[in-house]
Amino acid sequence: MPEGMLLKSYPWASSLSDPDSSFTVKKFCMENALPYDDTLMPLPVDSFISYGKSFQQRFVTNVENKQVMKLRPTASGIEVHLENDEFVEASHVVIAIGVTPFANVPAIANSVPAEFVSHSSAYGPLDQLLGKEVAVIGAGSSATNMTALLHERGIPVTLVGRRPEIGFAGTPQLRSRFQRMIAPSGGIGDGWTMGLCATAPWAIHMLPSSVRLRLAYPRALGPLGGAFMRDRVMGKVPMLLGQNLRRLDIVKDRIELSFGMAQRPLRVDHVVFATGYKTDLGRLSFLSEDMVAQMRRIESAPALSRHYESSIPGLHFIGPAATNSFGPVSRFVHGTPHPARHLAKYFAAILPQRRIQVRKAHGIQVAAVR
């Protein structure tokens, strides 16, 4: 995420899960003299990243930064093959990969060279877009954030969306006790339904899959700009709204966006698709086609047991990949406590002892925790 972005979620609902729920975003900001309010101000992504790094250093010190090349089920568990011919054999593997592998770019862009198109998830720094004229496609938080940041960097930008208007969350304000009773805040949205989804993903898991799918991507959680982005975008940048993108063509070293007959084509240097994410197991290069084919799915996401386990024994998914099984809270940082606590308790019960098995792969000793 580019420097200067703002999280759309409430700061109070953006904390990671530790065993005692003690190291919250609020505590981190207080310790480091950073501005903070539970609801009345947004959380800058820079503060959140610093909090995440501090969380990791405090609670999860034994992190190895290695690329997973493939997973291979065995009779006793799963082999995790890493770069440099290393592998680890484990009885259980938890995949917690977030959304980045599932960046959703419309098929219309598939044949366009990468120098002309990208997804909003590709950006930390925006330096590679300096000196270019850019079109941002989308109508949600990523699109409005990206548009504002490009404009404020002096990069000419046009926001393009299918919707006739851009929606923004309401300005945060203190709510009365009556308002909280009528529509309690559940961390991912207001109202009793969103509150249930946020606090009881285990209950959502018990519902029929058709109901879970409707809850997973409700209209209330559809594309929506953050409350604090309205004044940084509206009236500041040109917009083409209510437009269906029909063609992308390379014309004289630029990319041309064609719409319906009533709208003239738009020609720019680069198009950024801020078009969200869609879980698709086929996008995970470390899963073989055979593994994906044999895995039971709900649409293109894994169908998970109450222990977040897929139909391949010992292979678990948490985070956004679990949305179709546990509801929309899986898409948010606010959704980290349930899988973290549930799986910690579950593994402690079924794995009472830790055994270290050292194996050699191409002359390299590998320690496998079982």
C-alpha–C-alpha distance, residues 348 and 369, integer Å? 14
Q: Edge-to-edge, what's the strand order for the sheet holding 247-251?
A: 247-251, 254-258, 266-268
Residues 164 and 258 occupy one common structural domain: yes
A 10 A CB-CB count for 62 gives 4
CB of 125 closer than 8 Å to CB of 153: no
Greatest Cα pair distance, the chain, in angstroms, is: 68
Final residue of a structural domain among 42, 63, 84? 63
Residues 53 and 142 occupy one common structural domain: no
Which segments of the chain are extended strands (E)?
A: 68-73, 78-82, 87-90, 93-95, 117-119, 134-137, 157-161, 239-241, 247-251, 254-258, 266-268, 270-273, 297-298, 301-302, 315-317, 356-361, 364-369
CB of 137 closer than 8 Å to CB of 160: yes
Parent domain of 10: 1-63
Running DSSP on this structure, what letter comes out for residue 277?
Answer: B
| pTM metric for this prediction | 0.86
Residues 127 and 40 occupy one common structural domain: no
Place of tokens 């790094």: 53
Residues 244 and 127 occupy one common structural domain: yes
Residues 151 and 236 occupy one common structural domain: yes
The dihedral built from the CA positions of residue 209, 212, 217 and 218, taken in this order, carries a sign that is positive
Question: Could you tell me if residue 165 is inside a domain?
Answer: yes
Q: The domain that contains 135 carries what CATH number?
A: 3.50.50.60
Question: Could you tell me if residue 310 is inside a domain?
Answer: no
Residues 118 and 43 occupy one common structural domain: no
C-alpha–C-alpha distance, residues 95 and 316, integer Å? 6
Residues 165 and 16 occupy one common structural domain: no
Q: How many domains does the chain have?
A: 2
Residues 240 and 111 occupy one common structural domain: yes
Final residue of a structural domain among 33, 63, 93? 63
Phi and psi at residue 119, to the nearest 5°? -105, 150
Final residue of a structural domain among 32, 63, 94? 63
Question: Could you tell me if residue 210 is inside a domain?
Answer: no
Query: What's the pLDDT at 355?
Result: 54
Question: Could you tell me if residue 281 is inside a domain?
Answer: no
C-alpha–C-alpha distance, residues 232 and 237, integer Å? 9
Question: Could you tell me if residue 107 is inside a domain?
Answer: yes
Each residue's pLDDT, cut to its tens digit, for the chain (370 residues) gives 778 888 888 899 999 999 999 999 999 999 999 999 998 888 999 999 999 999 999 999 989 899 999 999 988 889 999 998 898 999 999 999 988 899 999 999 999 999 999 999 998 888 999 999 999 999 888 899 999 999 999 999 999 999 888 888 777 777 777 777 777 777 877 788 888 889 999 999 999 988 998 888 876 566 778 878 888 999 999 999 998 999 999 999 999 999 987 789 999 999 999 998 999 999 999 998 889 999 999 999 999 999 999 999 999 999 999 999 999 999 999 999 999 999 999 999 988 655 545 454 444 444 444 4
Would strands 356-361 and 364-369 be described as parallel, antiparallel, or unpaired?
antiparallel
Residues 153 and 230 occupy one common structural domain: yes
Residues 31 and 146 occupy one common structural domain: no
